[in-house]
Structure 1
């Protein structure tokens, strides 16, 4: 909000011209989407929470230069925007533009220090987005199984699962340390898939169960100790392979 008081935003839409074709249809303001991404990281929000904040919070609307009646956009556009942001050193270029404007109005001292690890920012938000996806897939699969076989999950679902998957994903205020949540969600998803494969074979074809299996494989691999591990860029981990007795086909 202080930057909005001194500047008309960190960026202008013209700063993003080379990202988009000239003959495309009118779209959302890329300058606003970039600013939302910054606020999202600073306030440790998931994509869904960031979109809700744009829609409901006056301070967000002020910082973005939006009308109060503006409902913003769907949370999925933030992931699409980051896909563009991650290529060709664009994040570093935007950071340089923002720092130049901030210094020009005296909000940053000429010899001051500022973090320039934009790749760290992008990686942290990207992990949160992926984790929200896995968490939502887990919740949807549990709801599907509860509808189709409500009594079969009694021995599996714990109080902790109720807290993690009893409502839409809320990733909290700790994006810099998501390792525990990533570990727990991966172990939970694998346990559920193995349980369905072994004890509920008639329900393996469920749409949400199949979606969870695919999303699990996309975001985790099984290490040499037979444990699910979060996929990082360049990981060469193996997909989980089923055993005759218990493992799900993935």
Structure 2
């Protein structure tokens, strides 16, 4: 709110003109999406939680200069926007631009030290979103198997699995061990998919397989680690988002082909 009062926002849509084709259809405001990305990092929110905050929280609407009845956007938009941020050194230049404007407005002390490395910001937000996604995918697959062939789960599911996946995932704003939990969930997904190898897979099990391949890398010994930038990610528009979350009404055009004009 302080930044909004003094600067009318950290960025304007004109700062993002080079990121989008000139003939793209008008989409969501990239300046607003960039601000949401910052708030995500500060509050430890997944993409889904951030999109929900935009729809429901007055402080988010104030920071983004939105009307109180603004419906917001679908959370999958943030994945595609993060892909654009990660290209070249766009995110670092963007943070540098915001820092210059905050200094000029007297919001940052002279001779102070500010971090402008965007890598940790993007990685933290992405890992939290991936943790929510893989946990929900495992839960949906377990429920599918419990309906269709519960005997398959006897060799794998125990009390700890029931605690981790017995209810829909809802991450708190300050989740403990998000990186370690992401690795553990990936290992659980690998064990579940190994159990299903050679069997006919249902819709949720096939979704889990694709989500696993998009977000984790197993080695020859069966150890699993989260996929990194060096391994590569599929484009945001091709990644799977949580299957239990539906797109809000009127949001069919939220693919953000071009900046708002």
TM-score range, shorter chain: 0.7 to 0.9
What TM-score comes out, normalization by structure 1 length?
Answer: 0.84
Map of 1:189 onto structure 2: 189
Map of 1:231 onto structure 2: 227
CA contact (8 A) 2:85 2:91 kept: yes
Kindly indicate whether residue 211 of structure 2 is the aligned counterpart of residue 207 of structure 1: no
CA shift, 1:145, in A, is 1.2
CA shift, 1:133, in A, is 2.5
Structural mapping, 1:27-106, within 5 Å: 27-106=27-106
Kindly indicate whether residue 213 of structure 2 is the aligned counterpart of residue 220 of structure 1: no
Q: Partners in 2 of 1:13 and 1:35 — Cα distance?
A: 11
CA contact (8 A) 1:58 1:68 kept: yes
Are residues 16 and 175 of structure 1, via their aligned partners in 2, closer, same or farther at CA, if it must alter by over 3 Å?
A: farther
CA contact (8 A) 2:186 2:216 kept: yes
CA contact (8 A) 2:130 2:182 kept: no
Q: Partners in 2 of 1:57 and 1:167 — Cα distance?
A: 25
Q: Partners in 1 of 2:193 and 2:123 — Cα distance?
A: 28
In structure 2, stretches of 5+ residues that fail to align are: 233-261
4+ residue runs over 6 A deviation: none
Q: Partners in 1 of 2:166 and 2:14 — Cα distance?
A: 43
Alignment RMSD, CA only? Answer: 2.2
CA shift, 1:224, in A, is 5.0
Are residues 28 and 167 of structure 1, via their aligned partners in 2, closer, same or farther at CA, if it must alter by over 3 Å?
A: farther
Map of 2:237 onto structure 1: none
SS across alignment from 1:103: helix
Q: Please list the CA deviations of residues 160-191 of structure 1 after superposition, one character each: whole Å capped at 9, or x if unmatched.
A: 33343234433334579423202220221122
What TM-score comes out, normalization by structure 2 length?
Answer: 0.80
Map of 2:244 onto structure 1: none
CA contact (8 A) 2:144 2:204 kept: yes
CA shift, 1:47, in A, is 0.3
Map of 2:18 onto structure 1: 18
